Amino acid sequence: MPNLIIGSRGSKLALWQSNWIKEQLERIHPGLVVEIEIIKTTGDKMQEVSLAGLAGAGKGVFTKEIEDALLDRRIDLAVHSLKDLPTVLPDGLHIAAITERVDVRDALICSETLRGKVKAIRDLPQGARVGTSSLRRRAQLLHLRPDLEIIELRGNVDTRLRKVDEGQYDAIILASAGLIRLGFGERITAKIEKGEMLSAVGQGALGIESRIDDQRTNMLLEALNHWPTRYAAEAERAVLRELGGGCAVPIAAFGLVKSNQKGERLTLEALVADVDGKTLIRKSAKGSAHEGEAMGLQLAESLVAAGARELLAKRKEENAEQTERTEQTESQKRARTEKAEVEQTEIQQEARTEKPETLLSVPSVTSVRSIPYSDSEAVPVAESEVESVDPEKPLAGRRVLLTRAPKQSSEMTRMLQKLGAEVIACPTIEIKPPTTWEQLDYALVHLSWYDWLAFTSANGVEYFLRRLDELGHGRAELMSHRVCAVGRKTAEKLASEQIAVDVMPERFTAEALVEEFIKRFGVGHRLRGSRMLLPAAKVTRDVIRPAMEKIGVHVEVVEAYQTVLPSMSGAEAMKLIREANADYIIFTSPSTVGNLAAILETDHLAPHLANSRVACIGPVTSDAARLHGLEVHLQPKEHTGQAIVRALAVDSLQR
């Protein structure tokens, strides 16, 4: 079967959830290959803003960018914590499946000094500092314990646990489900029963979003529906939808389905509170699970009749004020950024000179005040700072950490050393044959089905041709296929194997490939309906398939090799990085970033690379670096090893 692509946030919990759905789908549907694409959302980009402040960014601050990718057909499905999913979805999208709920309760995590003394909220000491990002939790905490000091808490689960360990909080509250899924169940001091704290709408369940018209994906997802959970969650969401709430309003609801002689029965509870917890309205209802949505609407009406509307109106006024403050702050940030960009443009225009004649040549420094480089920002440099630099060895005295696989890094290493750099190998990726040749073998047997062969890496070329030879196929079989290559190195590898390349974009992105196809062949009958085989790694970010399918080319991605973690331990990697104290670290693919984070067992790499300038090949790699907390200093427009080496050389002269 063709691949399915899951869109996911980049947090450790979101990736755990997406990988779990991937495993379930591949288990239920043998032969199906599911891949994950990380998408950064507005909520991820605004970590310094409270969740209440994020209300001004619009509905779905943790889902909008993922939903845009769904509607653009860049991904096939999205996996969400159901509690993060707005009750009103964009036109064309729906919840295809809701998984079985795990522990729905909130969890109290106390500092080390309190762990042996606290068994419930009532046991917290007078005036204890409690961290939470949820207005729902804040309201219910203050309703129970008005003396508590509630402090805003943002960040991923690791960060939040670290903050309580450091003593910034006496206790924090997180969802039990997320802690258990990430293996932090032992950190829970106490689980808070629903009598004290009612859970968020949809808490503990995963919601899988897809396009309504994507019948195939919807059919594959149907098996993941857990109907007792779905009935309960839809009733909860009906309450929230009718009240018009979200993460910026203290609303809670929990439904539970049980079977008896009368069939499946639903018990539904819901509450609305003010932020300070002084007023709390709580109602419940019972009925048939199959009528859960109608029951949720009736329960919302009951809450409104008891005064919920007044509480919500007051909160909306407060949200509007918070939104105005947030927008003013963001506007000030944008103004500062725009001013800096204008100043930078003026500097570049004043200092503009011709580009170096060769890929590795660098400008003379004899009288240079600013070294221009069209692929990255030009930074003013005083003459006194560069007088002592040997223009033939611009990287002399610089240490460069290289994360590429050893087999692929030799040429880049030679280029860096030629310019004077000391190169320290820190391979975070290893290339191996695929887990099974089954997919590729099947494609090779039916090679005549395909009009095009596409390669996105030299590794794809190498392993494709190796298997072609091992199965006894002649290279002559490839003569009837047109070939496209993404990247100069890929094209050079094909040329070395005497395979002609028909299409190679000047820029190395899926969009550029589509543009090249349209320029060469148009979008008429010559392309529409044709088939393309793309041998790649299983974890390859599949952006070519959805891009090409928009112009009528069906792309089938098959596993030809795999990228795996090297045998290096976290302790070894930390020792190497610490001793290297490198001036630069080069990441050549998203996998090199993600694998380093996996080796070091962290999702925040910045503390480990605080003294190194980060250089990335391509925007996708840069996005991966930023998702792991890094600032990207260098990203040349050309996605090649030569370009990254040249960028380092120019940057070194500027510093």
- Please check the confidence at residue 49 and state whether its pLDDT lies above 60: no
Q: For residue 383, name the pLDDT band (cuts at 50, 70, 90).
A: very low
What distances in angstroms separate CA 515 from CA 152, 503, 523, 548, one per listed residue?
47, 11, 10, 10
The answer to whether 645 and 493 have CB atoms below 8 angstroms apart is no
Give the integer Cα–Cα distance in Å for 452 and 470. 21
Q: For residue 350, name the pLDDT band (cuts at 50, 70, 90).
A: very low
The answer to whether 29 and 220 have CB atoms below 8 angstroms apart is yes
- Please check the confidence at residue 274 and state whether its pLDDT lies above 50: yes
Give the integer Cα–Cα distance in Å for 201 and 223. 23
Q: For residue 390, name the pLDDT band (cuts at 50, 70, 90).
A: low
pLDDT digits (tens, 9 = 90+) for 576-607: 999 999 999 999 888 899 889 989 988 889 98
| Token pair in block for residue 504 | 């190679």
158 is catalytic: no
Mean pLDDT of the chain: 82
User: Whose CA is closest to 452, among 503, 505, 490?
Assistant: 503
Confidence at residue 639, expressed as pLDDT on a 0 to 100 scale = 79
pLDDT digits (tens, 9 = 90+) for 520-549: 765 444 567 788 999 988 766 566 777 787
User: Whose CA is closest to 52, among 339, 377, 324?
Assistant: 324
Residue 113, phi-psi category: left (phi > 0), alpha (psi -120 to 50), beta (remainder) = alpha
Q: For residue 336, name the pLDDT band (cuts at 50, 70, 90).
A: low
Confidence at residue 338, expressed as pLDDT on a 0 to 100 scale = 55
Give the integer Cα–Cα distance in Å for 212 and 93. 5
Question: Within its chain, how far is the Cα of 59 from the centroid?
Answer: 19
DSSP letter assigned to residue 420: T
Give the integer Cα–Cα distance in Å for 231 and 202. 11
Highest mean pLDDT pick, 223-232, 328-337, 364-373, 389-398? 223-232
Q: What is the mean pLDDT of residues 557-562?
A: 90
Q: For residue 53, name the pLDDT band (cuts at 50, 70, 90).
A: very low
Buried b (16+ CB within 10 A) or exposed e, 400-436: bbbbbbeebbeebbebbeebbbebbebbbbbbeebee
Percent of the chain, pLDDT > 90? 45
pLDDT digits (tens, 9 = 90+) for 619-646: 888 988 998 999 999 999 887 888 899 9
pLDDT digits (tens, 9 = 90+) for 235-250: 999 999 988 765 567 8
Q: What is the mean pLDDT of residues 35-57?
A: 63
As a three-state string, the secondary structure of 413-424 is HHHHHHCCCEEE
| 538 CB-near residues (< 8 Å, 6+ apart) | 33, 35, 434, 435, 559, 562
Active-site position among 84, 106, 214, 623:
84
- Please check the confidence at residue 381 and state whether its pLDDT lies above 60: no
pLDDT digits (tens, 9 = 90+) for 69-111: 999 999 999 999 999 888 889 989 999 999 999 999 999 999 9
Q: For residue 340, name the pLDDT band (cuts at 50, 70, 90).
A: low
User: Whose CA is closest to 644, among 457, 456, 427, 400?
Assistant: 400
pLDDT digits (tens, 9 = 90+) for 107-125: 999 999 998 889 899 999 9
Q: What is the mean pLDDT of residues 383-411?
A: 72
Whose structure tokens read 């190169």? 423
Confidence at residue 491, expressed as pLDDT on a 0 to 100 scale = 87
- Please check the confidence at residue 377 and state whether its pLDDT lies above 80: no
Q: For residue 272, name the pLDDT band (cuts at 50, 70, 90).
A: very high
